[in-house]
């Protein structure tokens, strides 16, 4: 079972992945402000949290990884590329995480940041990609801070994520337009940034976005490099 | 396929129901502000909208029913209890709506308003209840306007919605706490209002809520009684 949760302040989607047979569970991109809600839901559904994972060092909210580890004893994993020492371990490309009978594959997809990962879950005939800020619904994450690279993002999109089957469900880390999920088919054909097939043109497009700086980046990034501990 | 869509202004969930075999589709509780998005999504997914439905006369946003009917030629259905003359037809208890090979059952669930409906969809082994404002996640709609009745709401909850199997997925019309879906099991055991088993105590609880008046009720209700036409 996959349960999507929503943080209204930062428009972040958090995902609860559950192995129905064993009651083991994982949380992807949990938000510190919502820890009480997560812990209560885990209790109500009688689940054992085995992993709390971040797709990358977020700039817009503080991660719940450290608090969840203290509260539940779960393992916390973040990108091994992110130079973060506070987690239980580091994600590497193609690492396979076991959640009960489920297998979650980590895919290194740099570009939005140099520590960005996506996750792939296969459940029977259905495939699910948790794309972080690498692939958003009809959009992508920006590439202008945290060692972002439009060139790397282009490669991660076209050579990694878009290689998955058309019917793969896409679950991003954010949405600002009222969408909750998409598919690889839809993003391949209707995502305006994915439709820029020329790599040079894509790099130029990303360079010209001129987006405002995220509001909380000075607080969030250092806090998240400490897994969300506030006494940084 | 069920696709949940989200209106950030009113925290409304709109549901796109799709018969994958025929490409016929329905929208439950579409929001007028988002019509461009719906029409584009229908086009991208190559869908024919056959129904646009409201669970009730909403007080917090303007319905897209009229605009969708004009744009797509779909049928619009609203409660036959709501005295609305602008729609293609009126919902009655147990009415069965055909969306390609899917059957959607209308269930009269008064209480939040006297025109409130829920919808039930069975897809293979999975059941889905679209509960409008009758049953919210860990909450319920209020009963203090639009001929609301705590007594009716109690009956609709306990004698209708909670009679569905525990594993039925609950998709409400709103959520204000970061949830996107629930199950009958969860609401049966963890919804604080459902847990009030004594009908008199429930009625008293609802009477003492003292909620502020919805911001847009004077505009939204008359507009929605005209299926969202603004020149009321
Ligand atoms: Fe990000
Ligand atoms: Fe309502």
pLDDT, average across residues A5-19 = 97
* Separation in Å, CA of A4 to nearest CA in chain B: 6
- Estimate the share of chain B in helix, then strand, then coil, as percent rounded to the nearest 5: 25, 30, 45
B5 C-alpha to ligand 2 centroid (Å): 17
**Whether the predicted pLDDT of B27 surpasses 90:** yes
Q: In the CATH scheme, what architecture does the domain A2-212 have?
A: 4-Layer Sandwich (3.60)
Q: Which residue in chain B has the smallest CA separation from A43?
A: B190
Q: How confident is the model at residue B231 (pLDDT cuts 50, 70, 90)?
A: low
Predicted pLDDT at B165: 98
CB contact under 8 A, B178 and A3: no
Q: What percent of chain A has pLDDT over 70?
A: 99
CA atoms in the 13 A half-sphere facing the CB of A188? 16
Selected residue of A178, A179, A188, A191 to mutate for chain B interface (largest B Cβ count, 10 A)? A178
- Residue A189 has what DSSP assignment? H
* Separation in Å, CA of A217 to nearest CA in chain B: 23
SS3 B130: strand
**Whether the predicted pLDDT of B216 surpasses 90:** no
Predicted pLDDT at B86: 93
Q: Please give the Cα distance from A37 to A41 (Å, whole number).
A: 6
Q: What are phi and psi of A151, to 5 degrees?
A: -65, -45
SS3 B71: helix
Q: Per-residue pLDDT tens for A157-177?
A: 999 999 999 999 999 999 999
**Whether the predicted pLDDT of B232 surpasses 60:** no
Whether the CB-CB separation of A62 and A31 falls below 8 Å is answered with yes
Predicted pLDDT at A231: 57
**Whether the predicted pLDDT of B230 surpasses 90:** no
pLDDT, average across residues A109-137 = 97
pLDDT, average across residues B96-125 = 97
Q: Per-residue pLDDT tens for B171-180?
A: 999 999 999 9
pLDDT, average across residues A127-149 = 97
Neighbours of ion ligand 2 (CB under 5 A): B 133
Domain residue limits, chain B: 2-212
Chain B residues within 8 A of A178 when measuring between CB atoms: 5-8, 34, 37
Specify the pTM. Answer: 0.96
A62 C-alpha to ligand 1 centroid (Å): 11
Q: How confident is the model at residue A222 (pLDDT cuts 50, 70, 90)?
A: very high
Q: What percent of chain A has pLDDT over 90?
A: 94
- Residue A160 has what DSSP assignment? I
Q: What percent of chain B has pLDDT over 70?
A: 99
Predicted pLDDT at B13: 98
Count residue pairs from A and B with Cβ separation < 8 A: 42
Q: Please give the Cα distance from A209 to A153 (Å, whole number).
A: 15
ipTM for the predicted complex: 0.94
Whether the CB-CB separation of A227 and A65 falls below 8 Å is answered with yes
Mean confidence (pLDDT) of chain B: 96
pLDDT, average across residues B62-87 = 95
Whether the CB-CB separation of B146 and B114 falls below 8 Å is answered with yes
Q: Per-residue pLDDT tens for A75-112?
A: 999 999 988 899 999 999 999 999 999 999 999 999 99
Mean confidence (pLDDT) of chain A: 96
Predicted pLDDT at B229: 87
Taking the CA atoms of residue B200, residue B201, residue B207 and residue B210 in that order, the dihedral angle to the nearest 10 degrees is 180
What are B's interface residues with A at a Cβ cutoff of 8 A? 3-8, 34, 37, 44-45, 175, 177-181, 186, 189-190
SS3 B86: coil
User: Which comes out higher in pLDDT, residue A140 or A215?
Assistant: A140
Whether the CB-CB separation of B180 and B4 falls below 8 Å is answered with yes
pLDDT, average across residues B139-150 = 96
Of the candidates A215, A214, A200, the one whose C-alpha atom is nearest the C-alpha of residue A145 is A214
**Whether the predicted pLDDT of B116 surpasses 80:** yes
């Amino acid at each position: 079972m996959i349960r999507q949760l929503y943080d209204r302040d930062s428009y972040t989607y958090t995902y609860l992945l559950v192995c129905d047979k064993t009651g083991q569970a994982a949380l992807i991109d949990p938000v510190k402000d919502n820890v009480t809600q997560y812990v209560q839901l885990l209790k109500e559904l009688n689940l054992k949290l085995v992993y709390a994972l971040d797709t990358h060092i977020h700039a817009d909210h503080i991660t719940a990884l450290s608090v969840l580890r203290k509260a539940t004893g779960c393992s916390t994993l973040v990108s091994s590329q992110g130079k973060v020492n506070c987690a239980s371990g580091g994600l590497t490309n193609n690492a396979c995480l076991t959640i009960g009978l489920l297998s979650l594959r980590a895919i290194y997809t740099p570009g939005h940041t140099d520590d960005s990962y996506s996750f792939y879950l296969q459940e029977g005939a259905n495939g699910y990609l948790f794309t972080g800020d690498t692939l958003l619904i009809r959009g992508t994450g920006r590439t202008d801070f945290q060692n972002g690279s439009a060139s790397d993002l282009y490669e991660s999109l076209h050579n990694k994520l878009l290689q998955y089957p058309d019917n793969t469900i896409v679950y991003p880390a954010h949405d600002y337009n009222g969408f909750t999920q998409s598919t690889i088919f839809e993003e391949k054909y209707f995502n305006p940034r994915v439709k820029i097939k020329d790599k040079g043109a894509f790099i130029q497009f990303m360079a010209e976005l001129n987006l405002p700086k995220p509001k909380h980046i000075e607080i969030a990034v250092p806090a998240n490099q400490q897994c969300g501990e506030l006494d940084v």
